[in-house]
Amino acid sequence: MATAIALVPALTPLQPAQVAAAVTAPSIQPRGLPASPADDDVKDVPLVVSEITPESVGEKSTVTVTGRVSNLTEETQTGVSVRLRYSSYPLSDRDALDAHADGEGSTLYQSGPRFAVDGDLPPGVSVPFTLKAKAKDLDLLGGLGVYPITIEALSDSAGAIDAQHTFLPYIADTKTGDLDTIKTAWVWPLMGRPQRADDDTYLGDGLNENLAADGRLGVLLSTGAQEGEIDPAETGEPVDPDAEETPESPSPSPAASPGQEPGDETPAEAETEEHSAGQVPVTWAVDPGLLADIERLSSSGYQSLTAGRDPAEQPALQDHDVSVNAQAWLTHARRWLDTDPLLASPYADADLPALLAADLDYDAERSVRLGQETVREVLGRDADPTLSWPAQSSMDSATRDFLAAGGTTTFILNDAALPAQRWLGYTPTAAVSLPVPDREAGTALVADSKLTAAMGADTHSPGAATLSRQRFAAETAMIAAERPSVDRTIVLAPPRDWDPSREYAEGLLEASDSLPWLDVVALNDVKVDNAGTKSRQKLTYPDKLASSRLSGDELDDVRATRRQVKLFNSVLADDEDPFRPAVLRMQSAWWREDEALAAVTRARVSETVETTKGKVHVIPGEPITLASKNGTLGVVLANDLETRPVKVYLSIFSENSERLAVGNYTDSMEIGPGGKTTVYVPLSAKVNGRTVLHMSLQNADGEPLAEEQTMTPVNVTGLGTGALIISGSAVLVLILALAPRALRKWMRNRARTEEASQGPAPEPAGGVGADAMPHNGNGPVRDESAAAASETAPDLSGRQEPDGSADTDRESETVGVDGDADGAPRP
């Protein structure tokens, strides 16, 4: 360059400022800002470009590049300098732009301003730099276009230190009217992969961190809403979508001015509306599955898996308290997303092409229906059912027909799904007509894949946000420069898992509104360009995407789990489907890119379904003994589910029905949450021995709830018929033998009782009672015949005294059953 480019002094007044000079024209170099230790965030970046202004360069602009250079080596570097190199010719196309961004473009020979470090640069020390040049001195020859620049750091001792490749979008003279603005519409994603396996188990604790004010989802929500940062202390109660709104009574505004009529805007209100009107319009795209994951975090404590990604590894669980981050995030989301356009993906971003190809249409329908229900429950409002953003921004014809049948009229796709015509030499418009069988044509809004990739760059490292924002300006300027006089539309749809820095996200929104070649509009204001429709090919589903969809083996695992879920649901008395969200999470398109975590998710859900089914069971009993021909068995059934009643059928059969038969019993019953009930089952034994009873709980169709059955051994010990007859006969003989003796004893006891009741008689001579002897008028007379009979009568007891006389007094003693007088058992 023939002319030196003057540079302004650095900002610090305490020391002399260094000034960069053009290589071709030496000048005095004032000293720069003092060196400082390198920050931790630049320890891996020796050259950081922190700002480039302006983003859009005009003829009268002054280009300013600021940043810092650091010595990250262990040796002192001498002769360190930073310089700007550029080309005075614009890049020819977007491919050349990509090449330069990757450092693979043509060498830039023009030299711009240069900054030299005063003195040596010790290890671990950083020095700020500023490069300035007037646009007219750069002699940009092509007018409207994108010019490549490179910022280089060099040293005499180490040579090239680092280089950053970026761009200068340039508009020579906008008064000519050659430049037509490009309509630009935003789709702002609040999406991400499923965070849970079953409803209560998270795959990690990353979601809680992402919901913080400076986390991924926290930044996306606050920057997209353009309302400031999330206040962590501001939490609220969950929204009840069925609650009726309470009308608020109007009240006079405290800011009303004299003479203001009721209903007129106050200055504060007018300022608020003006601020809202000045915001960049965005259309929010939410994943209902992610919203449900966030809502679960905000309601109660939860568990997360801490194991690796091997499904065979026994996972460890970590307990967490309720997430305050989730509560604050939901509170702000309900407020900030209240009126903006909103679209919802199917629940957990289901892999619709895979489900439809595998004849799982019912699951595909449930994912859409549950998605709409979840948005209503969590956010308290409905999503627009006419807008769809298919997974990976692409779809096959079956998915198109399925979504169209559900009410979709506008499809957000990428340019791999609707490629530009091969003969087209520029970027076609985004809004085109999309043929849909058996109905009016729909609308396709095609996002540019290169823009999407550029916006998805990592912007968390030092200087990355500045370079990425400059890349966005360059990409859009290049599109505008391709056909300056052709009306076109571009759709800005960042990646679904977008993780921008706050600086970058805010910068993109500002750039889309401030760059002179862009005219930001609402997505629903974009109209189809019928002429532009011809510039795109027909709907295409790339082979790479078709081959990456969920495989047959993966869906077979899902089917197996669904069968167990269906069996469990069949015994629920409230006719619900509690595992429906978990099954749909297993079918997410996100698992295309993470097969290991997908396997862990499927294994965890399958295990949870089996465990939950096992909570409705027969309580095993102890082995029982049946000591008679007939008996009754009490079977206890338990429902350990805490919130759900069940209706089950008890099935019992004998392993050997000829030995032990099961009678009629009540086989169906409803058991409340946490309840138990007992079923009494009659049993009939025919032969002694051991028999096993098999018990299982079934649904109404006779399908067992569990593969394993409860077994109860029954031991029959009752006697046979012949033994019963013999025993009965022996008892009868014993009764007949003892009856006479018992009768005689009873008669003697009765006689004695009667004698005792008559009182004592006078003692006759000879010691014989007077009442025992007959009277002849002069005294008692002895009955000789009776006495003789008494003396000669045999002893019924069969026992004799030692002197040979009968012991008649023993007849008055108690007689035992075995014949002993005292009732004691005989030896």
Tell me, what CATH number does 91's domain have? 2.60.40.10
Reported confidence tier of residue 742, pLDDT bands at 50, 70, 90: confident
pLDDT of residue 242: 52
- Strands 624-626 and 489-492, how do they pair? unpaired
Mean pLDDT of 706-713: 82
Domain membership of residue 781 (yes or no) is no
Q: Which of left, alpha, beta for 749 (phi over 0: left; psi -120 to 50: alpha)?
A: alpha
In this predicted structure, which of 53-57, 82-86, 103-107, 622-626 has the lowest mean pLDDT? 622-626
CA dihedral 591, 593, 597, 598 (to 10 degrees): 30
In the predicted structure, residue 552 carries a pLDDT above the cut 70: yes
Q: For 13-158, where are the E strands, in sequence order? A: 36-37, 47-53, 62-70, 81-86, 110-116, 125-134, 145-155
Q: Of 629-633, 700-704, 735-739, where does the model show the most confidence?
A: 700-704
Calpha distance 582→603 (Å, rounded): 12
Residues 308 and 364 in one domain: yes
Mean pLDDT of 329-338: 96
pLDDT of residue 36: 56
In this predicted structure, which of 127-131, 142-146, 345-349, 551-555 has the lowest mean pLDDT? 142-146
Domain membership of residue 770 (yes or no) is no
Residues 342 and 399 in one domain: yes
Residue ending a domain, among 178, 203, 221, is 178
Instruction: Give the tens place of pLDDT for each residue, 653-683.
Output: 888 888 888 999 999 999 999 999 999 999 9
Q: Which helix (H) or strand (E) holds 570?
A: none
**Residue 121, strand partner residues:** 77
> DSSP class of residue 725?
H
3-class secondary-structure state, position 806: strand
Domain membership of residue 224 (yes or no) is yes
Residues 420 and 485 in one domain: yes
> Nearest-5° angle of CA 497, CA 502, CA 507?
100
Residue ending a domain, among 548, 578, 603, is 548
- Strands 145-155 and 159-170, how do they pair? antiparallel
- Strands 110-116 and 431-434, how do they pair? unpaired
pLDDT of residue 266: 38
Residue ending a domain, among 571, 589, 613, is 613
pLDDT of residue 473: 96
Q: Which amino acid is at 681?
A: V
Instruction: Give the tens place of pLDDT for each residue, 470-496.
Output: 999 999 999 998 888 888 999 999 999
Closest to 626 in 3D by CA, of 712, 713, 718: 718
- Edge-first strand order for the sheet with 317-320 is 201-202, 302-305, 317-320
Instruction: Give the tens place of pLDDT for each residue, 379-436.
Output: 999 999 999 999 999 999 999 999 999 999 999 999 999 999 999 989 999 999 999 9
In the predicted structure, residue 80 carries a pLDDT above the cut 60: yes
Mean pLDDT of 19-46: 46
Calpha distance 75→156 (Å, rounded): 13
Closest to 650 in 3D by CA, of 740, 571, 749: 571
In this predicted structure, which of 110-119, 179-188, 572-581, 731-740 has the lowest mean pLDDT? 731-740
Calpha distance 91→474 (Å, rounded): 10
> DSSP class of residue 18?
B
Question: Residue 364 is part of a domain; what is its CATH number?
Answer: 3.20.110.10
The residue among 706 and 280 whose pLDDT is bigger is 280
3-class secondary-structure state, position 175: helix
What does the DSSP assignment read for 37-75? EPPGGGTT-SEEEEEEE-SSB-TT-EEEEEEEEE--SSS
pLDDT of residue 189: 97
Work out the mean pLDDT of the chain and round it to a whole number: 81
Reported confidence tier of residue 446, pLDDT bands at 50, 70, 90: very high
Read off the tokens for 148: 């490549």
Mean pLDDT of 78-90: 94
Mean pLDDT of 347-356: 96
3-class secondary-structure state, position 189: strand
Domain membership of residue 247 (yes or no) is no
Q: Which of left, alpha, beta for 531 (phi over 0: left; psi -120 to 50: alpha)?
A: alpha
Mean pLDDT of 177-203: 90
Percent of the chain with pLDDT over 90: 59
Residues 139 and 283 in one domain: no
**Residue 126, strand partner residues:** 36, 70
In the predicted structure, residue 563 carries a pLDDT above the cut 50: yes
pLDDT of residue 39: 54
Does the CA dihedral 497-503-504-507 come out positive or negative? positive
Exposed/middle/buried for residue 459 (C-beta within 10 Å: 0-12, 13-18, 19+):
buried
Closest to 167 in 3D by CA, of 183, 191, 151: 151
Mean pLDDT of 16-31: 31
Residues 543 and 606 in one domain: no
Instruction: Give the tens place of pLDDT for each residue, 608-659.
Output: 999 999 999 999 888 888 778 888 889 999 999 999 999 999 999 888 888 8
Closest to 69 in 3D by CA, of 51, 53, 81: 81
Domain membership of residue 771 (yes or no) is no
Residues 323 and 346 in one domain: yes
Closest to 472 in 3D by CA, of 169, 187, 185: 169
pLDDT of residue 19: 30
The residue among 218 and 180 whose pLDDT is bigger is 218
Q: What does the radius of gyration of the chain's CA atoms come to, in whole angstroms?
A: 49
Percent of the chain with pLDDT over 70: 78
Closest to 652 in 3D by CA, of 682, 694, 621, 698: 694
> How many other C-beta atoms can be found within 10 angstroms of the C-beta atom of residue 735?
10
Calpha distance 46→160 (Å, rounded): 11
Closest to 652 in 3D by CA, of 685, 611, 682, 609: 682
The residue among 126 and 779 whose pLDDT is bigger is 126
pLDDT of residue 726: 63
**Residue 131, strand partner residues:** 65
In this predicted structure, which of 117-131, 161-175, 414-428, 766-780 has the lowest mean pLDDT? 766-780
Closest to 568 in 3D by CA, of 643, 646, 637, 636: 646
The residue among 779 and 489 whose pLDDT is bigger is 489
Helix-helix angle 288-299:324-336, to 10 degrees = 130
Instruction: Give the tens place of pLDDT for each residue, 586-609.
Output: 999 999 999 999 999 999 999 999
The residue among 733 and 265 whose pLDDT is bigger is 733
**Residue 69, strand partner residues:** 47, 127
Residues 540 and 560 in one domain: no
Calpha distance 293→201 (Å, rounded): 10
Mean pLDDT of 522-530: 92
In this predicted structure, which of 165-179, 399-413, 537-551, 805-819 has the lowest mean pLDDT? 805-819
Question: Residue 673 is part of a domain; what is its CATH number?
Answer: 2.60.40.2310
In the predicted structure, residue 8 carries a pLDDT above the cut 60: no
Residues 395 and 435 in one domain: yes
Taking a C-beta distance cutoff of 8 angstroms, is the pair 568, 613 a contact?
yes
SS (H, E, C) 641-689: CCCCCEEEEEEEEECCCCCEEECCCCCEEEECCCCEEEEEEEEEECCCE
In this predicted structure, which of 425-429, 510-514, 529-533, 716-720 has the lowest mean pLDDT? 716-720
In the predicted structure, residue 271 carries a pLDDT above the cut 90: no
Domain membership of residue 14 (yes or no) is no
Residues 347 and 442 in one domain: yes
In the predicted structure, residue 13 carries a pLDDT above the cut 50: no
Taking a C-beta distance cutoff of 8 angstroms, is the pair 354, 402 a contact?
no
Calpha distance 364→402 (Å, rounded): 9
Residues 355 and 418 in one domain: yes
Calpha distance 580→586 (Å, rounded): 10
Biggest CA–CA distance in the chain, Å, is: 186
In the predicted structure, residue 511 carries a pLDDT above the cut 80: yes
pLDDT of residue 825: 43
Residues 378 and 510 in one domain: yes
678: containing domain? 616-718
Q: Which of left, alpha, beta for 779 (phi over 0: left; psi -120 to 50: alpha)?
A: left
Closest to 294 in 3D by CA, of 334, 341, 342: 334
Closest to 148 in 3D by CA, of 159, 138, 160, 134: 138
Outline where 438-525 has alpha helix (H): 449-455, 464-482, 502-514
In the predicted structure, residue 249 carries a pLDDT above the cut 60: no
In this predicted structure, which of 425-434, 552-561, 634-643, 794-803 has the lowest mean pLDDT? 794-803
The set of residues, in sequence order, having a beta carbon less than 8 Å from that of 699 and lying 6+ positions away, is 567, 570, 571, 648, 649, 705
Domain membership of residue 246 (yes or no) is no
Taking a C-beta distance cutoff of 8 angstroms, is the pair 113, 54 a contact?
no
Mean pLDDT of 10-31: 31
pLDDT of residue 817: 36
Residues in the chain: 827
Read off the tokens for 642: 């805490």
Residues 558 and 656 in one domain: no
Domain membership of residue 165 (yes or no) is yes
Number of domains into which the chain is organized: 5
Mean pLDDT of 715-723: 63
Calpha distance 19→1 (Å, rounded): 18
pLDDT of residue 269: 39
Mean pLDDT of 714-734: 67
SS (H, E, C) 351-392: CHHHHHHCCCHHHHHHHHHHHHHHHHHHHCCCCCCCEECCHH
Reported confidence tier of residue 759, pLDDT bands at 50, 70, 90: low
Q: Which of left, alpha, beta for 380 (phi over 0: left; psi -120 to 50: alpha)?
A: left
Taking a C-beta distance cutoff of 8 angstroms, is the pair 318, 202 a contact?
no
pLDDT of residue 178: 57
> Nearest-5° angle of CA 620, CA 621, CA 627?
150
Mean pLDDT of 120-138: 94
